[in-house]
Amino acid sequence: MREKWAMDTLDELLDFLIHGDGCIGLFDATNTSVARRRKIINHVRERTDGKLKILFVESICDNDAIIQKNVHLKLSGPDYKNVDKEVALQDFLGRMKNYEKVYETIQESEETSEIQYIKLINVGKKVIMYNVNGFLSEQVVGFLMNFNLAERQIWISRAAESESEAQDRLGGDSPVTAAGHGYAEAAARFISQQKSAFFADQVEHLVVQAQEDGTPLAPVLSNLQESSFSVWTSMNCSAIETGAHFDDSVFDVKAMKMLNELNYGSFEGLTLSEIQRSYPYEYNAQITNGERYKYPGSGGESYLDVINRVRPVVLELERMVDNSLIISHPIMCQALLAYFLNLDSTNSFEVPANTLFSVQRKPYGVEWEAYQYDASIDSFVKLDTTSDISIVATPQHRPPTGSDTLASVVAGPMVPSLMNA
């Protein structure tokens, strides 16, 4: 029966790839034997006439510390919800032993032109690849080699209000307004507080875990160090001025061009109404062509150009084990949030100003929070994030430029989803 369920699930996945809109599928099953892998290869070949590439991902771990951490993560997952901890532990250890009895690593005898594989040993300490070729496969491998689940916070914020923004003008590398400096100062204070609170929570969690496991506290705490905190800004004036409020003896502040605002070309500094009045053809072309519309003039970009720029930023954020704050601009922040929150094309939103978003990777998903600056108290108020992000964010006020498609292109739990463009 289990074998039938596995093949039925594989058929559903193949239907999605063959007849649906899918371009990459993940088949998570007990593919731990040579016979099972051969069966999958044959089945996929028959259904797709050999046109669909297969990439096996094998994770091998013989590090006891990593194994114990993984056991703890598994016991806190949905499989053991509301199950007694000791009962859950014995059940999971029993399942591990059963897998060990039948487990067969991918062998050289399986190496044919039909398959590709990657072996990740001890969570990427060592990587073995075979026959990996093609754009998507290489992006998957790149992601797996960078991805980690280290406890960390990723903060995302628009740069403080610039003079151009205050006048509803596109782009324009203008300085921050007085109100913007108020937000930037408050954001620096708030992030400093959150940095300390996050470390305190980590210490408390380790103490509780050590007590539950009967582990001596001294060795655990002696090796614990507060994570570094990176602040990355764009090279636009408003972002650099926002980042300047962070103490560079505490935060690693860097500016990078990849985070720059979309370049509006010859429309830099214009308002939407001015474009509509003076350049009606371009205004309509923007609406018609959506994310593929490239603004005219020297350096003009499209939404897809921004997505190309954000890819290496995403990979680096996935690779890092430190906390980070990204200070950028509306479209870039929208792209990053769409990626980390796995938003689809039904989500069309504009990232609000004066708001800090916090994203934390978890083994079974992503936790996120939003804090909005209240100038009357010169502090931040936590927003209700139990609903869709559209409750926190604001509807788009610009022409329908296809940024709902932008969200779908960028969104997804894996970097290859970024590569559909």
Q: Which residue has the tokens 């591990």?
A: 96
Task: Name 101's Cβ contacts closer than 8 Å, sequence gap at least 6.
Answer: none
Q: Which residue has the tokens 């990657």?
A: 118
- In whole angstroms, give the CA distance from residue 166 to residue 267: 17
Is 322 assigned a catalytic role?
no
Kindly give the pairing relationship between strand 252-255 and strand 229-233: parallel
Quote the DSSP letter at residue 125: T
- In whole angstroms, give the CA distance from residue 155 to residue 190: 12
CA atoms within 13 A on the CB side of 415: 24
Map residue 58 onto helix, strand or coil. Answer: strand
- In whole angstroms, give the CA distance from residue 50 to residue 53: 8
Quote the DSSP letter at residue 121: E
Quote the DSSP letter at residue 375: T
Map residue 14 onto helix, strand or coil. Answer: helix
Active-site residue, selected from the candidate residues 161, 305, 318, 329: 329
- In whole angstroms, give the CA distance from residue 374 to residue 227: 29
Structure tokens that stand for 64 in this block: 């006891």
Is 301 assigned a catalytic role?
no
Q: Per-residue DSSP letters for 315-367? A: HHHHH--SEEEEEE-HHHHHHHHHHHTT--TT---BPPTTEEEEEEEETTEEE
Active-site residue, selected from the candidate residues 43, 58, 61, 163: 61
How many CB atoms within 10 Å of residue 20? 12
Is 333 assigned a catalytic role?
no
> Among positive and negative, which fits the CA dihedral 401, 310, 227, 412?
positive
Q: Which residue has the tokens 């655990």?
A: 220
Helices 330-340 and 403-410, interaxial angle, to 10°? 40
Kindly give the pairing relationship between strand 323-328 and strand 154-158: parallel
Is 28 assigned a catalytic role?
yes
Active-site residue, selected from the candidate residues 21, 28, 62, 64: 28
- CA distances from residue 140 to 21, 26, 126, 179, 415 in whole angstroms, order as listed: 19, 11, 16, 43, 7
- How long, in residues, is the chain? 421
Active-site residue, selected from the candidate residues 241, 261, 291, 318: 261
Catalytic residue numbers, as ranges: 28, 61, 261, 329
